[in-house]
Amino acid sequence: MFRYDWSKAEVQQIYNQPFPELIFQAMTVHRGHFPGNKIQRSTLLSIKTGFCPEDCSYCPQSAHYDTKIDKHGLLPKEFVMEKAAQAKEKGSTRFCMGAAWREIKDGDQFDAVLDIVSSVASLDMEVCCTMGMLTDSQAERLKDAGCHAYNHNLDTSPEYYGNIISTRTYQDRLDTLKRVRSAGMTVCSGGIVGMGESIEDRLELLRQLATQSPHPESVPLNMLIRVEGTPLADEQQAVDGIEFVRLVATARILMPGSLVRLSAGRTQMSDETQALAFVAGANSIHSGDKLLTTANPGDDHDDMLIKKLGMSFVGKEDGCGCGHKEHHHDHQHAANS
Ligand code: SAM
Ligand code: DTB
Ligand code: SF4
């Protein structure tokens, strides 16, 4: 049974257990819903980079800050298709396309995005988009084009949020997630650690996600990448590996049927920390040499690590490619059962 009524005290109690108890509980929950030794590989591509009007203080793509990234307009479909085919070749079952927009605007660009989405979907990969806020009709058109998941992060707790972003409210983000859900796409939503927030803020982020019904089908956990030129470039808070693994385990326990994805920041993690995170219930990674604009470990390193751990990547032979134990094609069902 999945729960949607977690209290702050309960979440703290889970997180603060002795480490072995916490891992044991997380591992038990994990194995009830997923194979314990499989990791989903999800590949990212920034299809429109930079010049974003939002002021998210971690983000190199915000037009408010002077950062050294390659900015470009919407990429041509042929280029995106080539990248998607390469990702599939490398064993990726999900292809996630990001656009540095505050919100989607109707018109030629969105029409081109819909064409790209249906082409990538025809490769038999799960398509995910992350393009900022959207309207009900845009969400429906994306869904109809074959977009399986929409990523929109809550990023942190409602209390800490105002320290990080001023151009979009927490409520805007919750409203966007509702629209995604109503259109029938699956929800991908998580956050970032290492921005100066407290452990309570991290736990409140998880509680905000875990009290949504259904739970987001995937929960990306990012460790801040400090990018020169952004206000958080000199952030002093380093994320402790054990604290990070505790957070992964807590996410797994609160949201048993969701993919918990290690996203940004894996270049700063030791192989041992990643291994512990997998043991604690993380079962997906963002793969490739690049995230959207910053460095990522790359497929060769990931292949080596997964092999060393005797684990394997989820493939199409595992049903719909999401890695759930039950073979199914209905992720909402999985998140609710
Ligand atoms: N513009 C869209 C949006 O904000 O929803 C989509 C792309 S945005 C880059 C996706 C997510 O990447 C953000 O919500 C944030 O959680 C994460 N992110 C961005 N910059 C990051 C950084 N420097 N370190 C860690 N995570 C980051
Ligand atoms: C998410 O939570 N992390 C990914 C994905 N969703 C879109 C993005 C990470 C971006 C890290 C900074 C960069 O590469 O620009
Ligand atoms: Fe824009 Fe998304 Fe970056 Fe915020 S996180 S500045 S919305 S690209």
Dist. CA 90–CA 333, nearest whole Å: 29
Higher pLDDT, 236 or 226: 226
Percent of the chain scoring above 70 in pLDDT: 95
The predicted structure's pLDDT at residue 235: 84
In a domain, 27, yes or no: yes
> Could you please report the per-residue DSSP string of 102-163?
SB--SSHHHHHHHHHHHHHHTTT-EEEEE-SB--HHHHHHHHHHTEEEEE---BS-HHHHTT
CA dist 305 → 24, 230, 283, 299, 312 (Å): 22, 31, 14, 10, 10
In a domain, 300, yes or no: yes
Question: Does residue 320 have an active-site annotation?
Answer: no
Question: Does residue 96 have an active-site annotation?
Answer: yes
pLDDT per position as a tens digit, 91-112: 888 999 999 999 999 999 999 9
Ligand nearest to the Cα of 296, by number: 2
Q: What is the CATH number of the domain that holds 34?
A: 3.20.20.70
- For ligand 2, whether the C-beta of 225 sits within 6 Å is yes
In a domain, 28, yes or no: yes
Helices first, then strands: H and E counts in the chain: 12, 10
- Mean pLDDT within 29-45: 94
pLDDT per position as a tens digit, 54-69: 999 999 999 999 999 9
Ligand nearest to the Cα of 61, by number: 3
- Mean pLDDT within 217-239: 94
The number of folded domains in the chain is 1
Q: What is the CA radius of gyration of the chain?
A: 18
Number of other residues whose CB lies within 10 A of the CB of residue 172: 15
Dist. CA 317–CA 321, nearest whole Å: 7
Catalytic position from the list 41, 94, 96, 202 = 96
Is pLDDT above 60 for 323? yes
pTM for the structure as a whole: 0.95
Secondary structure (3-state) at 25: helix
Pocket test for ligand 2, best of 94, 186, 286 (most atoms within 8 A of CB): 286
pLDDT per position as a tens digit, 297-306: 999 999 999 9
In a domain, 295, yes or no: yes
Secondary structure (3-state) at 328: coil
CA of 263 to the centre of ligand 2 (A): 7
**Containing structural domain, residue 71:** 8-336
Atom of ligand 2 nearest to the CA of 96: 7
pLDDT per position as a tens digit, 179-205: 999 999 999 999 999 999 999 999 999
DSSP 68: -
Pocket test for ligand 1, best of 105, 130, 172, 205 (most atoms within 8 A of CB): 130
In a domain, 329, yes or no: yes
In a domain, 305, yes or no: yes
Secondary structure (3-state) at 313: strand
Is pLDDT above 60 for 333? no
In a domain, 3, yes or no: no
- For ligand 2, whether the C-beta of 151 sits within 6 Å is yes
Q: For atom 20 of ligand 1, which residue has the closest CA?
A: 59
In a domain, 2, yes or no: no
Atom of ligand 2 nearest to the CA of 296: 14
- For ligand 3, whether the C-beta of 155 sits within 6 Å is no
Catalytic position from the list 41, 168, 246, 261 = 261
- Mean pLDDT within 163-175: 96
